[in-house]
A and B are shown apart, each in its own frame.
Chain A
Amino acid sequence: MDEIFAIASSLWKRLLGVKVVYFLTACAITLIAITNLYDVLMIGENRALMVDTGMMLVTAAAMLTVISLAFDIPKELQSGVASVLLAKPLGRTHYLIGKLMGISWVGIFITGLISIGFLVIYSISHGTPGQELVKALVLICLSVIPMASVVLLFSSFLNEAVAATISTVAIWLGYSLFALKGFTLYDLSVFNMGAEAFYGYEISTFFVVKAAFSALLTAVSFLCLTSFIFNKRDL
């Protein structure tokens, strides 16, 4: 396990060492706060605008964070960093798990940071947020895991630009094409509960647990496929 954590923490350190990440996080929180200024334009419905903007920005942050993995792995393969690491007693599957774990930590950290900022602004502007809003944000944070596994798959055998593009399309398909809300494998729509959160429809804790389970199952399935491909290829 140590080697997996070593790979994950190296990625964590690299991504969170980039200052622009904090700048963009601050921008996202500021943008959420700015929605409060649109009460006239929104005819008093600026709460809806804040929730929509907040959910959209947290989702976008999750997506952008995981897409960065599409640049990380091909770059490591091209520059030879991966060769140095994989010449050590580190299995290729362990390397992939480390990367998945690392990007998931970073994704959850960044989306968590924006979510907390959002909730603080919301509570200052509109009073204590409902449980549903909190659960909806937790679901978005969890969506990082399946999205990261999709990016991991494409970045294990494609170059940066192609991997990033195809991953983005695949994530979009996950949100739209398979929007059956039936917990089918790779159904990202279960993590998009913005409307429920806004209108106060109940999101049960069981639903959140099921979504978490679905996220893990999706990640494990994609990881198996990625590992199969990655173990066959030359580095």
Chain B
Amino acid sequence: MKYAVRTEDLTKKYKGSLFNKSEVVALDHLNIEVPTGCVFGFLGPNGAGKTTTIRCLMDLIRPSAGKAWVLDTPVGNLNIKEEIGFLPDSPSFGGHLTANEFLKLSAKLLKLPRHEIKARVEEVLEIVEMKEYKKSKLGGFSRGMTQRIGIAQAILNRPRLLVLDEPLVGLDPHGRKDLINIVNKQKERGSSIFFCSHILSDVEKICDYVGILKKGNLLAFGKTDDLTADSGMIITVDKSDQETAQKLMMEATESKKDAQGNRVITLDHDAWESLNGELGLSEKDTVKIERGHNSLENFFFKTVQKEV
């Protein structure tokens, strides 16, 4: 199997200062395998180690231990960087250049053929809807505009792997929608996308795979559909049927009252099978049964609440 990103016991420890010798473990033996051609969402609370992972993958910081590969090539290989697009967290591109000049500089660094540069720069400016600002200096751009230029430079080389660190930050709803379209188009082209974001609803929409990181430890990793799969049955018991409600609550994974005072009980599949057989829940008029669905947001909060 080919992998867009693979890490093996990737560890990064930051040394303390001269006066504070304590070490901070930003990444602790991280093992992930992201197959090529998929959109991977990397989630975690602030300080989880997401940006550290991305910076290790982009060879901007050196891991303390472990190894990492991008597009099945060890990190640090300059040739493979020609096939990667990268948008850092809070990008800054030097205010003295115009958008056009910056993208031309990026194109040169990405080793695009000279005759192609002008047309490609125009093309990406069109994609990110910044063509009218191409002669404006980057220093005068708003956060959202800078983000759009960041996305433009990341897709200049039609990358096989697109690494985006918090790409939705600073974008208005229109910009977010555009970005999601760009990501989907890149995916259709066959690119792999390594995506790090706090906006879980967007991640759920576009990511095939998800990884959740906390304090440098990977808490969950897998296909988004698997992680947000059916979470059991949700049974709403009328407030008049306290007896049934009491019995179900003994086996419930979650129980709460709704606005009308009815009891809403979540049962896992095994509990549902046995209690349905015993109490004949499907036949009762006082009981309403629904299939449960775990949103990525629910899954995320449940996962990060676990202690590392």
Contact = CB atoms under 8 A, between A and B. Distances in A.
Interface string B86-116: 1010111110110001000110111100000
B92 A3 contact: no
B60 interface: yes
B92 A80 contact: yes
Interface string A195-219: 0000000000000000000000000
B60 A87 contact: yes
A14 B60 contact: no
Interface string B221-261: 00000000000000000000000000000000000000000
Contact of A6 (B60, B86, B88, B105): B105
Given A3-B109, A232-B62, A87 B81 contact: yes
B91 A80 contact: yes
Interface string A58-94: 0000000000000000001001110111111111000
Nearest to A81: B94
Contacts of B93: 81, 84
B122 interface: no
B55 interface: yes
Interface in B181-234: none
B121 interface: no
B96 A14 contact: yes
Given A87-B84, A232-B62, A6 B55 contact: no
Range for the number of chain B residues in contact with chain A: 20 to 34
Interface string A213-235: 00000000000000000001011
Contacts of A182: none
Contacts of B84: 87
Interface string A1-34: 0110010001001100100000000000000000
B79 interface: yes
B109 A80 contact: no
Nearest to A72: B94
B279 interface: no
Nearest to A14: B96
B82 interface: yes
Contacts of B97: 10, 13-14
A235 B60 contact: yes
B153 interface: yes
A225 B82 CA distance: 27
Range for the number of chain A residues in contact with chain B: 20 to 34
B1 interface: no
Interface in A153-202: none
Contact of A88 (B62, B101, B109, B150): B109
A188 B171 CA distance: 52
B58 interface: yes
Interface string A132-171: 0000000000000000000000000000000000000000
A6 B79 contact: no
B18 interface: no
B61 interface: yes
Given A89-B78, A89-B111, A235 B88 contact: no
Given A2-B108, A88-B81, A17 B62 contact: no
A84 B111 contact: no
Contacts of A83: 55, 58, 60, 88
Nearest to B63: A234
Contacts of A85: 109
Given A10-B97, A89-B78, A234-B62, A84 B91 contact: yes
Given A84-B153, A88-B110, A235-B61, 15 more contacts: A3-B108, A3-B109, A6-B109, A14-B94, A79-B92, A83-B55, A84-B88, A84-B92, A84-B150, A86-B60, A87-B59, A89-B78, A89-B82, A89-B111, A90-B78
Interface of B: 55, 58-62, 78-79, 81-82, 84, 86, 88, 90-94, 96-97, 101, 105-106, 108-111, 150, 153
26 contacts: A2-B108, A10-B94, A13-B96, A14-B94, A79-B92, A80-B91, A81-B92, A81-B94, A83-B60, A83-B88, A84-B92, A86-B60, A87-B59, A88-B86, A88-B106, A89-B78, A89-B110, A90-B78, A90-B81, A90-B109, A232-B62, A234-B55, A234-B60, A234-B61, A235-B55, A235-B61
